[in-house]
Structure 1
Amino acid sequence: MDPDGTEVSDSTSSATFWHPNEDALSSLLSLGISRNAAERGLYYTGNASADVAAEWVFDHISDPDVHQPLSISAVPDAAVGGSVMFDLSHKMVFAVDISLGMGIGKIAAQVAHAGVGLYRHMILAAGDGRLQSMVALWQEMGETKIVLKAGGSAELMSLESKASSLNLPTYTAQDAGKTQIPAGSMTVLAIMGPVTEVDKVTGHLQLL
């Protein structure tokens, strides 16, 4: 209240100071991402997860201010822990079986195979409006794609089973066996869905 008796509202009462998700921040720092860039990535992707924030950083690594301190004092309550710039509602993740010892080129080819396979499955699912709506949302919000490490075929099958139990579409890439690994090897599992649901399946996996 002012000396003249006028009531003064506290401008900070309707806002909450923004803080980065500490677990996600630690994961980003372990990847060699600077703290400033990591905080920017988390802020601009809704403070949701390390993998999505890391993709934002890599996509913006050439921005002149990406390593500058984030100049944010306070943001509306509704934005804390939620989406600030856009809604990352859906993403596609790829769990790669690193136990196979595939080379970089082989991994890239297998991830592409899994991504195209899952995308084709979803857009050709005649009469399944849910899958087609999922693809539309994913495309609208930037087609987020994350590549993660899995420890073997048993883990891929476990992830696939859990994804299916959550009604998330999946596609498993299997190698033809012409180069580095035996024919029929499960190389990459692709999963598509809402971020919160996909994270229930792959949230514990590390970025590749």
Structure 2
Amino acid sequence: MRLTKKRKMTISGGLTAFAVVLAVLSRSSCCYLAALAMGISTLGDALLAGYPECVENKLVKGALAFFAAHILYICTLLVSYGKSIPALLPRFALPFVLFLALTVLHGLLFYSRGNSGFSTGLFTAASFYLLTVGIHAAAAVTVYGQAGEGYLLSAAGAILFFLSDAVLLARKYGTVRGKYVTAVIWLTYVPAQLCLITGIFLTRSVFA
């Protein structure tokens, strides 16, 4: 089954509806923030899919929407942890360096070999965005290491998000092609969002 733009938007809208239902059931402010983050992600999905047609620079604006969503997810994660943030920094260093290295390696492997016509400025912005997703993943892994299994879904979701966006950007650079690329992106993106939303719902008692 071909994943059309309408089907993508149906899936993304369904994820937002799921997040809203969990937020209403939990009555948790952080679950509402997670629903907002998912809603902003749906806006990003719409822009990347080409909606609305009157908007220019959809790729940049879509990336900005996802950037805002990740900032919300990071803030929610740290609030849910509820302990000293500075105390996390020493343990955060190693995961951060790992995702920083993966971001640099991604650029070397895919952008340098691509032929998409991406300007240096756009590549820099795309790399900064991917690093932001990496920071989200590093923070989630760090909190999971400190707080235990309650944050496993948050860590898994952030890592899957990094993988999904890495493949998406590789396709935008013109390096990765094929009829299965879109399927790979969405088969990592949808579980990523589900893990993030559900993970916040399951740890809501921490910040209730």
Q: Give the TM-score normalised by the residue count of structure 1.
A: 0.33
Q: Give the TM-score normalised by the residue count of structure 2.
A: 0.33
Larger Rg over CA atoms: 1
Q: Which has the higher contact order (CA 8 A, sep 6+)?
A: 2
Greater per-residue helix proportion: 2
Greater per-residue strand proportion: 1
